[in-house]
């Protein structure tokens, strides 16, 4: 807003509008049309090309190849609030591999654990810690039916067992328990099959750039260069922004920042 922009919350996009082969804006789910000469999508490659655009907006072969990009599995998530008494020596980050003889990418085998309140006590109520643990989990086979709650509990047990390696009496300490599944990931983050991003192996293929075949439409996020993860996603935004300005504008901004520094 300081630079003349406008931030809208709860303004969910229904469609990227393309006229005459060019991106001309977006239509929101509530029907409002926002016109713009440049549209930047941070949705995944699958959601952008199959949900936000019409099939006819893209070259057929390009769309088919893009939608066939392999995807990383989704996740089981565990968010806990626990009583902290007696855990003064607790450290904040842990990786637990249940069976070193199995593939580390096998769902439930490798569990990542983060306890951020170890570093910042303000992240939890007094006398408590917050915990986030996750492991890979396929999207296929999940549905919101009568067995959903039981399946959530069953599939989260590998995370509880991993946490017991760090805090043996973890189950007795729980004051808040939230379990996330691939359906949770898909619904709340609006990501294709709840995926973490494209499964593009280093050295075998390249993540696509921010450009698309549609003039005025660009993409950022973890299905563009440089790839998956927060630093890479931030980098994708920088690369895209740099694409939209001239070298002289970039030099002018750097000079301005240098004076401020």
Domains along the chain? 13-69+199-260 (3.50.50.60), 74-189 (no CATH)
Whether the predicted pLDDT of 233 surpasses 70? yes
As a whole number of angstroms, the distance between CA 177 and CA 165 comes to 18
DSSP-assigned states of every residue in 138-205:
-STT---STTHHHHHHHHTHHHHHHHHHHSTTHHHHEEEEEEE-HHHHHHHHT-GGG--SB---TTT-
| CA 20 to each of CA 54, 207, 225, 242: distance values in angstroms, whole numbers, following the listed order | 13, 28, 28, 26
> Rounded to the nearest 10 degrees, how much is the dihedral formed by the CA atoms of 233, 213, 67, 192?
40
Q: Model confidence at 261, in pLDDT bands (50, 70, 90)?
A: low
pLDDT in tens, 120-152: 999 999 999 999 999 999 999 999 999 999 999
pTM, entire model: 0.84
In DSSP terms, 17 is beta-bridged to 25
What percent of the chain lies above the pLDDT cut of 90? Answer: 89
Cis peptide before 62 (omega within 30 of 0): no
As a whole number of angstroms, the distance between CA 79 and CA 83 comes to 14
């Amino acid at each position: 807003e300081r630079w003349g922009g406008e931030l809208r919350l709860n303004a969910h996009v229904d469609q990227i509008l393309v006229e005459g082969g060019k991106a001309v804006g977006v239509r929101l789910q509530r029907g409002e049309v926002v016109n713009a000469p440049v549209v930047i999508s941070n949705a995944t490659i699958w959601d952008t090309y199959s949900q936000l655009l019409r099939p006819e907006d893209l070259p057929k072969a390009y769309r088919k190849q893009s939608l066939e990009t392999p995807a990383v599995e989704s996740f089981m998530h565990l968010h806990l609030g626990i009583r902290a008494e007696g855990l003064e020596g607790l450290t904040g980050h842990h990786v637990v591999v249940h069976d070193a003889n199995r593939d580390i990418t096998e769902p439930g085998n490798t569990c990542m654990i983060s306890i951020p309140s170890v570093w910042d006590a303000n992240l939890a109520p007094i006398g408590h810690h917050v915990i986030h643990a996750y492991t890979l989990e396929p999207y296929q086979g999940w549905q919101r039916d009568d067995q959903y709650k039981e399946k959530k509990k069953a599939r989260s047990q590998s995370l509880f067992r991993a946490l017991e390696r760090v805090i043996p009496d973890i189950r007795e300490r729980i004051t808040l328990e939230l379990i996330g599944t691939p359906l949770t990931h898909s619904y709340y983050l609006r990501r294709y099959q709840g995926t973490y991003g494209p499964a593009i192996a280093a050295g075998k293929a390249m993540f696509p750039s921010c450009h698309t075949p549609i003039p005025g439409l660009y993409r950022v996020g973890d299905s563009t260069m440089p790839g998956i993860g927060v630093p890479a996603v931030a980098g994708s935004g920088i690369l895209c922004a740099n694409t939209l300005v001239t070298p002289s504008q970039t030099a002018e901004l750097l000079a301005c920042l240098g004076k401020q520094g």
